[in-house]
Structure formats: structure tokens, C-alpha cells
Structure 1
Amino acid sequence: MYCAIDFGTSNSAIAIPAGGTMQLVELEAGHPTMPTAVFYYAEGPETNGPPRAFGRAALAAYVDGVDGRLMRSMKSILGSSLVDQTTDVGGGRGAKYLDIIGGYLLHLKTAAERQAGTRIEQVVMGRPVYFVDDEPERDAQAQASLESAARAVGFREVHFQYEPIAAAFDYERSTSREEIVLVADIGGGTSDFSLVRVGPERAAQLERKRDILANHGVHIAGTDFDRRIELASILGEFGYGALGPSVNGAPAREVPSGVYFDLATWHLINTVYNPARVAELRQMRSFYAEPKHHQRLMTVVTERLGHELASRAEAAKIAVADGGEVRIDLSHVEHKLASTLSEPQAVEAIEGDLARIVDAARVTVAQAGLQPSQVDALYFTGGSTGLRLLAQQIAAAFPQARAVRGDRFASVATGLALYAQRWFERAR
């Protein structure tokens, strides 16, 4: 028995063989995909590790204010120095970041084995074109770490496939002629592009190396948009970008910004809650000309509200994706506190990131020695392609290509499943 896993920054899925085809496992009631999230309870008995909840249950525990720690965007630590470090998960317990990833993979594997009725020891896993931009050694280390986590939970045979290429395999099922398709797989952590030659006659081939014309990507995507939007629309109410008092007539200086960047980065938020860091921030009261800014910041760090602020930034981004303006309620920090975000504000906050993503799409086609006019289709997948402006800007760079939208959350998983079926069935 084998499976295919799409381990995403924001959402994940797993597929297994069923009735001669591949089927996505229902990980939660009515859902074939699950948020890539783990919540560690501060209290409770240990069963194969600390007491945990996964996916939507993890997010619900956090929203309900249960004592514990929420982990999201775990994929982002692959290739970083954090991967082998131990972090506090509450209740006096600690866990290595790589073991946190392993625990999530084990949860996916267990759900698939329950549905399959047998052990699963072979897997095809998706991976971004680059875990780490422009650093091949760290990129290779990232894949090796993910493979290590997979083997640690019982997969004895592990293969990898690029996520955008998997999405191309999903697109290929719907085309009746040979085409050159540029896959834009833009999720929570990376924006990946692959230029692939597809067609009904090619679909049955196991070896597709010659059909992969180019791969390229940048480590910019949905979580980066969220960070910039939080900095632009929320954290100003907490002192980001504010000036301190003038001392002896000298020009006022901007308050230190490091804490705000950490608060806006999912996998760094918990570092702000370190007692030594909190004590340091408390001593910075004199750095602020506006006392309320410092007071609000201290409320966030002492009551551990950083993840909630990040979630509200993400929700605001989604709310203005199709235009309009949204009010961001911050009353959980201070009575009647709120800010607003409009689509023009969101665009201004992320326009630099959008430009780099569109440039990566152009570079992908240029690497293949082709002109934009030679691209037949654009295939959009990944949660962040729901951002209207992003899809429009990519499409504008390839005006003659037909734009096709796949399943934003399941196209990669479906394509990985098709590849896994071809790989393991042909090998027998």
C-alpha cells in the first residue's frame, strides 16, 4: 500500500488507492484537506507524545482559549536552524520542531491507514521548487529533514515530486490536445512555477523529465502577504512605525521594530512570549511617545494574543480580495479598538511581493527558451491564487494564454496521487 501526501504550509491532504483510482482521504468530516495546524494542550495525558489536536480541532482549541500552544506554518522552518531545536509546548513539555512535523505526518498516515485497512509504508511527498531561495545546500537539507520525519513515522520508501508539476498532472486530465502549460502554485509559503508539456498521449508515461521544460519559484506567498498586511493595517495601533519622544531637542527616533516583525511571522510569534523578552519589552516604556502603544503591545505579549492578531490579518486579506473595505476588530486587546483595511491598502502593502512573484513566472518561461506568447495555458492552484490582483497580474504577463483555475486546495494532492499511482504500480 502506498499514498501521496501534500504537506502544505497552510493546508495538507493525503490520497490512497481505491477501486483502481486514487482517492483523497476524508481527514475531517466532509473535508478532504485539513489545516496544517497542531495545538499542544498544556494539560492532559500523553499518548504517543504530548496531548494534541490537529487541523480544525487545533484551530478551534486556540480560538476557544484553551491553555496550550498553537503551531502553524511548520513547513516554513524546514531548511532553517530551528528544525533541530526544542521549543516549549506548554505544561512544562518540550518538543523538537522536526518532531512536531513528524507528529502531523503521523496523524495523516494514521487516518489513511484507518481508511485503507492496512499499513502504508510507501509515499510520494510534494515539495516546493525551493524550500530556501538561492541556497542549494539549505534547500537540500530541508528535503532531507522532511524525509527524515517521514521515515521516523514509518514510511520506509519516500519519493518526492515538485508540487507545481503535480498540479500539471492534475490539469492534464482535462486537456484533449498537447499544450504547454505554466502552473502557478501559490500557497502559504512559496510561489512555485513549472512550465510543462502536457497531453493525453503523454499522460500514461511514467518518465516525464523531458516534458518538464523549466522550474522556478520564490519563497514568497500567502503568509508573507499576511505579515505585510498586519504590519500595514494592525500593528500601527501597537506602536509599529511610531516615533518616540524627542530628547533634548534632538529629532524623535522610531521605536524599535523587531518585536513587530516577529509578531507578524507565525513561526516566530512564540519567541516574543519568552520571559526575558517580555521583561526587555517592559523596560522599553520610555521609548514610546504614545503610552497607549506600549500598553497595547504589553497586553499582546503578556496575554499571548499574537496568533490572534495574525489570524485577523489573514481574515482581512481574504475579506478584501475581491475589493471593498473591512473593519478589523481589535477589541480583544482594548475596548472598542479597531482598524480598517481597504483593497488599495492591501495592494500597496504587498505590491513589491506581487512584482517578485510575477517576475518569477516570466523567468520560468525564459529559462525554457520560450516567449510568453508560446504558453498555451496558465493553471492556477494554491490558496493564495484566490487573491484577485495576483492572478490578474500573472495573467497580464501572458495575455495569449488561457487562464484555468484548479481546485485551490486539492489540485496538488490530486496530481501527487496520480504520480504515486503511476510510480508504484509500474514498479511492481
Structure 2
Amino acid sequence: MTTHVPCGIDFGTSNSTAAILGEDGAARLLALEGDSVVLPSTLFFSFEDQQIRFGRAAVDAYVEGVEGRLMRSLKSVLGSSTMAEKTTIKARRWSFSEIIGLYLKQVKARAEAAAGRSFNSVVLGRPVHFVDGDEEADGRAQGELEAIARKAGFSAVAFQFEPIAAALDYERRVQREELAVIVDLGGGTSDFAIVRVSPKRREASDRRADILASTGIHIGGTDFDRLLSLKTVMPELGYRTLARDGRRDLPNWAYFELATWHRINFLYAQQTDTKLKGLRQDAARPELVDRLMAVISERQGHALAGEVEAAKIALSAEERFRLHFPLPDADLDLEVARTDLVAAIGQSVAGIEGALAGCLKQAGVGAEAISSVFVTGGSASIPYVRGRLTGLFPQASVVQGDVFGSVGAGLALDAARKYGPT
């Protein structure tokens, strides 16, 4: 692999893609796991063969019961205090920068193998806000990701907002000038941009004047998982049940940790067992806390979170989903309805609506001026979320992008413009 070309990498909270510009001028997503161009942003540290698995192979090993440690939703820790912490895996203490670096280096290697070329230059996608309302933490998050990318082998690292990248991908198909709102509903954030697009404008190297606004909010698909879990599953483990004195609810710390993908592993610390025993002693219904303790002692937190995510996905197409999760004494067996999902995420979706309305205000245009709404990102598959957001633009046409690939393709287009062939 002697030819160097720039690439685009969409390192996502739940899934990642990589792309380059082909000889025909079109972006090409690269196969990262078998024939799939999507690699789940997941690692598994096996304690049995000491190997580190990535993507679906990581999830498969975990589901098959291989002893080890699953790590997921790592993008969510960028810019947070968690980045300063270390986590013990087997006998070694790992920083989160090291763990994210392992994954990003793997994406780079797989992308290079698929392209038959090496990559020195990259444009990485980033949310409009890594951290809401904290510019210092937001800048720190980008700096952390840049340092990780350089350590992974990239000598030149640039960034592009994810909704702008999606706009570049959308622009390839437009036949006339449009004022488009880009709605990118990801695993960790929801991001928006209002952009003028046209066949003529896409040839320009400087597009700053065409970007009327870009905003975002740190709410995404993993937040919907957490909220659905807290509403439907965690009460079966004792969440929001009374303490023994009958005057207050049980402390909720363990339930919030267990419902949050990137916090689950912290429950596997030695001191957790003592705290859970105290929680059980304090509970009016200790048999429910026994379920909680079983999930944690058996290290089944991610498996349970996976079932909640499966329920969320299924409820995009069906009205009801049967969630069954085996436990030693009393299995979890409950029906989850689409109305449960809507009730759980309604307030968060209102927050996303507010951020989108803020994007319009920032652009200085009314909803009637928008001619098209380009929708991408995994959470766009939830009918309730999609309907609430696209309903803000009743006169616009709705265009569905590649749910997982639009941002990566746009980043490759941006990389070609920023770097050119090298």
C-alpha cells in the first residue's frame, strides 16, 4: 500500500464507517467487517484467549458467554470527567484514550486493507456539540479525539460537523438549488444544519457562505435506550420502589448506571457488591433487588441493555415487543409497547425539537423556506421521532439518506477537498 489518499471516518457512538473518494469522483464506503461497511463501535477483551475483538465479533463473543469485558458507546466519554478515569480489565488498568485508540486504529487498518492504500490524512466527523453548553469541555473532547487519531497513525487530522458531512452527501443527488435542513439522529447526539445545496455549488471549494446554521444537542439513540430501560425494565429490578421505611424510594444510582451503556462496566467494581447488599437490606421488596444483584454479579448488564435496544428497534415496526431475559430465580418477562417508548422519550424528543427550532432561528429563516429535509442516522428509524421532527416542515419534501453511511460518505468528499490526493 504505497499510494496515500485522504479518507473520512465517522466514529460513531454506536457504529462507525470509513470512506474514500473513488476515481469516478463518488464517495465509496469501505468494508470494515466482512462485506459490511458498518463496524459497531464495540470492543470485547477476552479473558480466555487474551484477544481483543471488534464490532459484531465483539458482540458475538459476549453473547456466546466468553469470559471477558465488553466496551461500547465510548464516544460518549469524550470531553467528560470519565476520560480522566481508568478501568481495570483483567490485571491491567486502561485509560479510555487507550481503548478508543485501539478501536480507531482497527478502523484505520481495516479501511486500508479494503482500499488497498494507506491513509495518512483523515477528516473525522464530530457532533456540533460533544458536550452541551460547555465550550471548554467541547474543545477538550475534539482535542482528545485528535490526539487519539494521531497516535493511531494519522499525520494530518481535520474535523467536519456531522450534519455538514451529511449535507455534502445529499448534495450529490440534487437537481436544482435547495435550502435543505439536515437532520442527523445518531447514537449519542442529534445534529442539524441548514445548507444551500445545488449541482453548481457542489463544485465550489469554499462552502462557508452556504452553511446558514448548524446546531446540535447531546441526545441520541443510547439516551432512548436508557430512558426506555428506566421506564420498563429497571422497575422490575427495584427502581422507584419503596425503601423499608415506606417514606422514600430506594437510591437510584445502580439503576442509572445499569441503564447507561458506557457506565455499565463501573458496576463490576469490587465495592459494588457491598453497596448492593446495603441496597437490598434497605428495600421493601428485596426480591426485586435480588434480580438487580444477579444481573450485576453475572455481568449481564450489556446483555440486558441489548435486549432493551432490541425492543426499541422492534417497536419502530411493531406495536408491541415481548422482552424475555433469563435470571437465576425469576426471569424477566414483560411486554413493552410502543406507547411505553413514546412516553419514555417524549421529553427528550421535545429537547431535540427545540434544538432544531434553534437551528432555524440561527439561520434566520422560517420553516416555509425549507424545500427539503434530509434525514440520516439510526434514530431516524423511530417513527415517533422522525414524525415529530419532519412535521416541523410540512411544505418540504422528506429525503431518507443512508442511515449509517451518509456522514461517512460526506466526510470522504470533504477529505478530498481539504487534502486532495497526496
Partner of 2:148: 149
* 1:301 Cα deviation after fit: 1.4
Partner of 2:308: 313
SS state of the match for residue 220, structure 1? coil
* Unpaired segments ≥5 residues, structure 2: none
Aligned ranges for residues 354-393 of structure 1 at < 5 Å?
354-393=349-388
Deviations 1:173-231 (A, max 9, x none): 11111111110101100000011110000001111111110011110010000000001
C-alpha contact (below 8 Å) 2:295/2:327 kept by paired residues: no
CA distance in 2, matches of 1:368, 1:335: 54
C-alpha contact (below 8 Å) 1:330/1:339 kept by paired residues: no
CA distance in 2, matches of 1:345, 1:119: 48
Aligned ranges for residues 90-129 of structure 1 at < 5 Å?
90=90, 92-129=91-128
Counterpart residue type for residue 347 of structure 1 = V
* 1:403 Cα deviation after fit: 0.8
* 1:333 Cα deviation after fit: 5.0
Deviations 1:88-109 (A, max 9, x none): 122x122110111111111011
SS state of the match for residue 399, structure 1? coil
Q: 2:277 aligns with which of 275, 282, 288?
A: 282
CA distance in 1, matches of 2:305, 2:166: 29
* 1:365 Cα deviation after fit: 0.7
Q: 2:13 aligns with which of 5, 9, 13?
A: 9
After alignment, is 131-140 or 323-332 more displaced? 323-332
Aligned ranges for residues 247-286 of structure 1 at < 5 Å?
251-286=246-281
CA distance in 2, matches of 1:62, 1:268: 17
Counterpart residue type for residue 72 of structure 1 = R
C-alpha contact (below 8 Å) 1:214/1:364 kept by paired residues: yes
SS state of the match for residue 201, structure 2? coil
SS state of the match for residue 199, structure 2? coil
SS state of the match for residue 181, structure 2? strand
Report whether the alignment pairs 1:33 with 2:38. Answer: yes
SS state of the match for residue 329, structure 1? strand
Cα 1:17–1:197 change in 2 (3 A) is closer
C-alpha contact (below 8 Å) 1:194/1:214 kept by paired residues: yes
Cα 1:127–1:345 change in 2 (3 A) is same
Counterpart residue type for residue 146 of structure 1 = L
Partner of 1:395: 390
C-alpha contact (below 8 Å) 1:130/1:139 kept by paired residues: yes
Partner of 1:298: 293
* 1:336 Cα deviation after fit: 4.2
Report whether the alignment pairs 1:19 with 2:19. Answer: no
* 1:20 Cα deviation after fit: 4.1
CA distance in 1, matches of 2:134, 2:185: 20
Counterpart residue type for residue 14 of structure 1 = A
Counterpart residue type for residue 402 of structure 1 = S
CA distance in 1, matches of 2:304, 2:142: 31
Normalising by structure 1, what TM-score? 0.95
After alignment, is 374-383 or 335-344 more displaced? 335-344
Partner of 1:351: 346
CA distance in 2, matches of 1:243, 1:30: 51
CA distance in 2, matches of 1:84, 1:337: 36
CA distance in 1, matches of 2:328, 2:165: 43
* Unpaired segments ≥5 residues, structure 1: 46-50
Partner of 1:219: 218
* 1:25 Cα deviation after fit: 1.2
* 1:155 Cα deviation after fit: 0.4
Deviations 1:107-150 (A, max 9, x none): 01111222333431111110000000010000000000000000
Counterpart residue type for residue 7 of structure 2 = C
SS state of the match for residue 248, structure 2? coil
CA distance in 1, matches of 2:213, 2:230: 35
Partner of 2:49: 44
* 1:345 Cα deviation after fit: 1.1
C-alpha contact (below 8 Å) 2:121/2:155 kept by paired residues: yes
Percent of aligned positions that are identical: 43
Partner of 2:132: 133
Partner of 1:331: 326
Deviations 1:278-324 (A, max 9, x none): 11111222211112112111111111111111111111111112341
CA distance in 2, matches of 1:304, 1:326: 24
Number of equivalenced pairs: 417
CA distance in 2, matches of 1:220, 1:357: 7
SS state of the match for residue 70, structure 1? strand
C-alpha contact (below 8 Å) 2:10/2:16 kept by paired residues: yes
C-alpha contact (below 8 Å) 1:300/1:333 kept by paired residues: no
* 1:273 Cα deviation after fit: 1.4
CA distance in 1, matches of 2:253, 2:65: 27
List structure 1 runs of 4+ shifted beyond 6 angstroms: none
Normalising by structure 2, what TM-score? 0.96
